[in-house]
Structure 1
Amino acid sequence: MFDQFLFKKIDNAQLVVFRVFYGLLVSAECYGAIFTGWVRRTLVEPQFTFSFIGFEWLQPLPGHGMYIYFTLMGTLGLLIALGYKYRFSAFAFALLWTGVYLMQKTSYNNHYYLLMLLAYIMAFLPAHKDASLDAKLNPKIRSHSMFNWVRWVIILQLFIVYTYASIAKLYGDWLDFSIIEILMQSKKEFWLIGDFLQLKWVHKIVAFFGILFDLLIVPALLWKRTRKAAFVLAIFFHLFNSIVFQIGIFPYLSLAFIVFFFEPQTIRNLFLKTKNITLDSSVSIPKTKGLILSVLSIYFIIQLVLPIRHHFFQDDVLWTEEGHRMSWRMMLRTRTGNIQYRIVNTSNGVTTHIDLDDYLTSKQKSRVACYPDFAWQFAQHLKKEYAKNGEDIQVFVKNKVKVNNGIYAEFIDPETDLASVPWKHFAHNEWILPSPTE
């Protein structure tokens, strides 16, 4: 029964059309990153780049290298949309995007993580079997069908993202609308809608609609009776996010995913207009069935477990940030803080206070002041810089942090030498002091 569901052949129009949207959108993201100055600000100008811990070796290319890098990714996006050398183009983009994701986290965004996951998923899917240059150049690969599991991989990934995003909003600062108020304050100067976004009743609607939309959108799109209404709400929701929060291609990528929820024939009639095709709706169990099911099972177990890992850490993730990334905790908090670095030469005891302006951009300074891994990484960087001159140092900080409308409180133990302690990925770092609520 399960095999018949997963390995039944269905129309591949949804996947083929999504491939085109996906390729065009990632191309726009990459070219746009160059033209808006994101690449320059994030990867070219900083003296030091905060990569994911463990990937410090992955640094931006020198000179104009990162502009070439993003131009190449944008071009790969166009090749994906055209379906030319699809496997190579899709895998190459996935690898290059992973590089960008891991080499910098100053501008971390959950959407970048989703795009990385999607890039690998799309690279494995047969999205080039129709309406592609590959199929035109090699008609033997042309097909109008795909296995049913292909469609459900995308749907299940979306369900996980939206469901965890909804559950994460069920906490005090979201339910009392205070975080919404903070987020909207930064939009006060928006033309035409700035004052409107400051209204209390608007905050309430945004809060409750955000929870319900994330929780119900996938089931509503799957059910035929509610599909059209859900589609209209999705357009409003994602366009609102695009205009107000300016989060790149993600709202439009989210709308592109909706092709997987409408009937394949509807999608084919709208976008492909293919005539006189014969669809294969048989059940065909491939020899690689065991491998396919094993890979998918492992992947989705990881996707289900990773977002809840913070529950196994000491203290609140809103305070410690441990387990926050890669867990679909979107727009849940704002952090402000201040930090002072003091280094002590171990040979002569001389103390020096560090001027962060000598090392970091303004955005990097704000991250160092608020996030423990940034503070730790910068301490490691200082130790290496001084070691080049033959000096062995200890690094101490005085650091206070405020989350949302909370109070400023000491965040990092001022007696801990951050240059000598290891970073724990899957356990609490004891030098992070307890939250004020604790």
Structure 2
Amino acid sequence: MRSLQARLLAPTDIAPLIWFRLVFGVTMVVEVFRYFSRGWIKSYYIEPSFFFSYYGFDWVNPWPGDWMYVHFAALGVLGAMIAAGFSYRVATPLFWLGVTYVFLLDQTQYLNHMYLVCLLAFLLIWLPGGQAFALDARLGLARQRDTVPTWMLWLVRAQIGLVYFFGGIAKLESDWLSGVPGSMFLRGWELTEPLAGHEWAARAFALSGAAFDLLVVPGLLWPRSRPWAIGAVLVFHLTNVQLFRIGIFPWLMLAVTPIFLEPAMVRRWLERWWPWRMPRAVAAPVNPRWQRAGLAFFGLWLALQCLLPLRHWFYPGEVNWTEEGHNFSWHMKLRNKEGRVRFHARDSRTGARWKVDPRPLLSNRQYQKMSTRPDMVQQFAHELARRYEREGRLGLEIYADMRVSLNGRPRQMLVDEDVDLAAQPWTWRAASWLVPLDDEPLVFSRAVEP
């Protein structure tokens, strides 16, 4: 352990972390531009009258009026400041707070890449990103440095590597390896659509995806396999751009790939492209006590990042069906899920029962997301009960008829239609009112029939 600690505390070139800072900031500016140009700020955060909260964060609400536009504009400015390394120590915590706030507003907007952005933004706070190839160093606002403790570089590498690793582990399950989800996804691109009906092609797609996720990081770190790994990264992410609508995720993962390369190579790129020459700095003094504290803290951080994706094993049932433990686990594009849900209210005093249409209260995106996620159905049932209470109608029962198809299976009941969801507590524990998935294995020829 002492030998490992000494190696992690030893200095290494700061260049890969500067590259990470630069591409992260630029990507965030692009993402903010996409939100403005596509009208997402209005449709996601201003027009809806109800938002699906994360457990424990129901107190997080959107800014009133048009202030969400101001919030996103501020995120764009902060992203540009991070990219340029200007007022870095102010920009990074503000950006992390701002983007995490947006992330927590509505569960229906959950995306793995937005969760990753929150994690990476938090790490940037603790890295000396403004001390090299940065305006702060140029203007004398920060002491210039060329090296950092090795653990800082491996912290970012590990955070990115865990996304790949757990994405690969999640693919080692029967539905994915059957090729059925892959066949459905292959239909999303004109170039791959002719392969969608062939079982061998769909299974090859599934196996190659799992193999890539599990092997890409070792392949990038080993010099002999690195050229092949870089080629695989390009093919994998550019294919994902065509097959899936996953926003900036492929581009962000492509952009951060150089953190796995030799630091000297990354430094040569920065020195060639940076607009002004940066003189080499004297090695910065290191406080061993603080470095050991940072090493211990982020060791615990990475341990938590390893445990969170495994928590679905503590819930009964198939995670792709129940959704319990699905978020924050890097289960990315593993399934094709379609559903519909109908709500009924019942007055226990009179026995009167009537249908409740959720669509006037939700956007189309919110309804589509809710129709396959039982925790959101329960949360919306609680909201309906609250709305009736405000009208003076107390003690109403709310029931849901929820039918969902997973990976081409016939639609099955997911929520017990005889359970009053408004009376069920909102908790992180396993829900007793979920109906298990019929565990009949998928048959490719039957599941992919039009």
Taking structure 1 as the reference length, what is the TM-score of the superposition?
0.93
After TM superposition, the structure 1 stretch with the greater mean CA deviation from structure 2, 345-354 or 408-417, is 345-354
2:302 maps to: 300
1:410 aligned to which of 397, 413, 416: 413
Distance 1:140 1:55, change over 3 A: closer
Q: 1:139 to 1:343 in 2, by over 3 A?
A: closer
Deviates more, 1:236-245 or 1:91-100: 236-245
Residues of 1 paired with 2:385 and 2:210: CA distance? 44
Tell me, which stretches of 5 or more residues in structure 1 are unaligned?
A: none
Q: Which one-letter code corresponds to 1:230 in the other structure?
A: A
> Which stretch has the larger CA shift, 18-27 or 66-75?
66-75
Tell me the residue number matched to 2:135.
133
Query: Aligned equivalents of 2:142 and 2:251: distance in 1?
Result: 33
Deviation at 1:294, TM superposition (A): 2.8
Tell me which of 366, 375, 394 is aligned to 2:397: 394
Matches within 5 A, 1:23-34: 23-34=25-36
Check conservation: 1:9, 1:283, Cα contact below 8 A: no
What CA distance in whole angstroms lies between the structure 1 residues aligned with 2:28 and 2:127? Answer: 17
2:270 is aligned with 1:271: yes
How far apart are residue 81 of structure 1 and its match? Answer: 0.5
Could you report, residue by residue, the CA deviation over 1:139-171 in whole angstroms, capped at 9, with x for unpaired residues? 651111111001100111122211111111111
Q: Which whole-Å deviations, capped at 9, do the CAs of 1:210-260 have from their partners, x for residues lacking one?
A: 111100010011001111221122112111112321322211211222221
Q: Deviations over 1:180-210 (max 9, x none)?
A: 112233x2xx5x5264463535433321221
Report what 2:247 is aligned to. 248
2:20 is matched with 18
| 8 Å contact kept, 2:404–2:412 | yes
With 263-272 and 18-27 compared, the bigger mean Cα shift is at 263-272
* Secondary structure of 1:394 counterpart: strand
Q: Deviations over 1:55-96 (max 9, x none)?
A: 222122232222221111111100100111112111111111
Offset of residue 51 of structure 1: 2.2
Aligned to 2:46: 44
Q: 1:199 & 1:315 partners in 2: Cα distance?
A: 29
Q: Is 1:421 aligned with 2:424?
A: yes
Equivalent in the alignment of 1:229: 228
Q: Tell whether 2:220 aligns with 1:217.
A: no
Residue 208 of structure 1 aligns to a residue whose secondary structure is: helix
Task: Decide which moves more: 400-409 or 37-46.
Answer: 37-46
Distance change in 2, residues 1:36/1:372 (3 Å): same
1:286 pairs with 2:267 = no
Q: Which amino acid aligns with 2:257?
A: I
Residue number in structure 1 paired with 2:340: 338
Counterpart CA distance in 2 for 1:284 and 1:356 is 58
Root-mean-square deviation (CA), in Å?
2.0
- In the alignment, what sits opposite 2:191? 193
Q: How many Å separate the matches in 2 of 1:38 and 1:183?
A: 25
Q: Indicate the residue corresponding to 2:11 in structure 1.
A: 9
Question: What is the distance in 2 between the residues matched to 1:140 and 1:25?
Answer: 24
Contact 1:7 1:285 in 2 (8 A): no
- Letter of the 1:291 partner, please give it: A
Give the number of equivalent residue pairs.
432
The residue matched to 2:247 in structure 1 has which SS?
Answer: coil
Q: Which residue of 1 aligns with 2:37?
A: 35
- How many percent identity over aligned positions? 33
CA distance in 2, matches of 1:67, 1:259: 33
Indicate conservation of the 8 Å contact 2:22/2:83, yes or no: yes
Q: Could you tell me which amino acid in structure 2 is paired with residue 306 of structure 1?
A: L
Letter in 2 for 1:222: L
In the superposition, the TM-score normalised over structure 2's length comes to: 0.91
Deviation of 1:381 (Å) = 0.8
Q: What is the alpha-carbon distance in structure 2 between the residues aligned to residue 195 and residue 306 of structure 1?
A: 35
CA contact (8 A) 1:19 1:127 kept: yes
Distance 1:275 1:384 in 2: 61
Partner of 1:154: 156
Q: 1:115 aligns with which of 99, 114, 117?
A: 117
Cα separation, 1, equivalents of 2:218 and 2:282: 27
Distance in 1 separating the partners of 2:225 and 2:166: 22
Q: Tell me, yes or no, if the aligned pair for 1:345 and 1:351 is still in contact at 8 Å.
A: yes
Tell me the secondary structure at the aligned position of residue 407 of structure 1.
Answer: coil
**For residues 308-344 of structure 1, what are the alpha-carbon distances to aligned partners after superposition, in whole Å with 9 as ceiling and x for unaligned?**
1111111111221100000011111122222221112
Deviates more, 1:87-96 or 1:49-58: 49-58
Deviates more, 1:349-358 or 1:80-89: 349-358
Worse-superposed segment, 141-150 or 104-113: 104-113
One-letter amino acid of the structure 2 residue matched with residue 71 of structure 1 = A
**Is the CA contact 1:423–1:429 (under 8 Å) kept in the aligned structure 2?**
no
Distance 1:48 1:278 in 2: 53
Q: Distance in 2 between matches of 1:413 and 1:226?
A: 52
- Name the structure 1 match of 2:83: 81
* Structure 1 contact 169–211 (Cα < 8 Å) conserved: yes
Which secondary structure does the structure 2 equivalent of 1:397 belong to?
strand
Question: Which residue of structure 1 lines up, in the alignment, with residue 446 of structure 2?
Answer: none
Check conservation: 1:337, 1:399, Cα contact below 8 A. yes
Q: CA contact under 8 A between 1:341 and 1:397: conserved in structure 2?
A: yes
Contact 1:8-1:283 at 8 Å conserved across structures: no
1:386-411 deviations in Å (ceiling 9; x for gaps)? 11112212111122222112222221
Answer yes or no: is the 8 Å Cα contact 1:145–1:279 preserved in 2: no
SS class of match (1:287):
helix
Which amino acid is 2:409 matched to? G
SS at 1:101's partner residue?
A: helix
Residues 11 and 279 in structure 1, CA contact (< 8 A), matched pair in contact too? no
8 A Cα contact 2:130 2:142, kept in partner: no
Partner of 2:376: 374
**Using the alignment, how far apart are the partners of 1:50 and 1:95 within structure 2?**
20
Structure 2 residue runs without a partner (length 5+)? 441-450
